[in-house]
């Protein structure tokens, strides 16, 4: 399962520098790293051919010799994009509203914790110490914590784990009282993967998909009910 963590904080709190240092450290350790950045400002693309295409097209792909990009002219959510990332570790800059992965708090002042901490905090970064909360003192220490405690839940809030939502389960995982295996949406009998990443689904979706597939398979020679079936397509 892909390890993941978010670095959250207010403007000028050092989030970008921390994510860059953390990514470099993890890469030097031999791990592949994907990054996602939340921004309240338009992405910097003015005056480019890409910008001209975006005025006409709803989706634009950019392909160069050393880089690639995807741009949607509408709001999409981070889980929609994750099947495109095959890396070992996901680092998210920003995303204070996310409730399905742990976070590190980049603090400018102690009072920031009241807004930034939603119960998924692994610790803090910066000069501000918060009583009762772990303070990371080096990027190396934080990298080790990401490898040991990083995770991401599907964010479906389906309740099949017995909790009210993913936030409740995430809090238990951070506290060491549960593990990601408690998420039943990632352990369904019907498994669907995209680029190697399993797609989470609630029981209703699983039952609908599995039922439709069984109806089709029953028309094929060689199929017997109860057999393990594997279907792949590109």
Task: Tell me if 18 sits within 8 A of 122, measured CB to CB.
Answer: no
Q: Is the pLDDT of residue 77 over 90?
A: no
Q: Tens digits of per-residue pLDDT, 101-146?
A: 999 999 999 899 999 999 999 999 998 889 999 999 999 999 999 9
Average pLDDT over residues 77-81: 86
pLDDT at 127: 86
Q: The dihedral of CA 207, 210, 212, 218: what is its sign?
A: negative
Instruction: For the beta carbon of residue 17, count every other beta carbon within 10 angstroms.
Output: 13
Q: Is the pLDDT of residue 190 over 80?
A: no
Rounded Cα distance, 163 and 232, in Å? 33
Q: Is the pLDDT of residue 82 over 70?
A: yes
Task: Tell me if 48 sits within 8 A of 151, measured CB to CB.
Answer: no
pTM: 0.79
Which is it for strands 89-93 and 121-125: parallel, antiparallel or unpaired?
unpaired
Rounded Cα distance, 192 and 189, in Å? 10
At which residue do the structure tokens 């839940």 appear? 153
Nearest to 182 by CA among 192, 193, 168, 203: 168
Q: Tens digits of per-residue pLDDT, 176-189?
A: 999 999 998 877 66
Query: pLDDT-based confidence at 44, cuts 50/70/90?
Result: low
Q: Which domains does the chain have, with CATH numbers?
A: 3-152 (3.40.50.300)
Task: Tell me if 125 sits within 8 A of 145, measured CB to CB.
Answer: no
Query: pLDDT-based confidence at 100, cuts 50/70/90?
Result: very high
Rounded Cα distance, 3 and 150, in Å? 5
């Amino acid at each position: 399962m892909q390890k993941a963590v978010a670095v959250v904080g207010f403007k000028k709190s050092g989030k970008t520098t921390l994510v860059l240092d953390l990514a470099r450290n993890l890469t030097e350790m031999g791990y592949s790293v994907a990054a996602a950045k939340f921004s309240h400002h338009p992405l910097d693309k003015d005056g480019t051919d890409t910008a001209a295409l975006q005025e006409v097209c709803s989706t634009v792909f950019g392909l160069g010799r050393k880089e690639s990009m995807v741009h949607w002219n509408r709001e999409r959510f981070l889980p929609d994009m994750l099947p495109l990332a095959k890396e070992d570790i996901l680092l998210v800059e920003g995303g204070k509203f996310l409730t399905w992965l742990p976070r590190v708090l980049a603090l400018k002042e102690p009072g920031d914790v009241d807004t930034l901490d939603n119960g998924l905090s692994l610790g803090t970064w910066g000069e501000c110490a918060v009583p009762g909360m772990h303070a990371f003192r080096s990027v190396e220490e934080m990298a080790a914590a990401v490898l040991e405690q990083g995770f991401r839940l599907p964010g479906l809030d389906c309740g099949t784990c017995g909790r009210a939502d993913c936030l409740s389960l995430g809090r238990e995982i951070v506290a060491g009282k549960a593990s990601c295996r408690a998420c039943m949406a990632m352990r369904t009998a019907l498994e669907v993967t995209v680029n190697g990443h399993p797609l989470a689904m609630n029981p209703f979706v699983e039952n609908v998909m599995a039922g439709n597939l069984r109806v089709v398979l029953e028309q094929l020679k060689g199929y017997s009910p109860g057999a393990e079936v594997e279907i792949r397509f590109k």
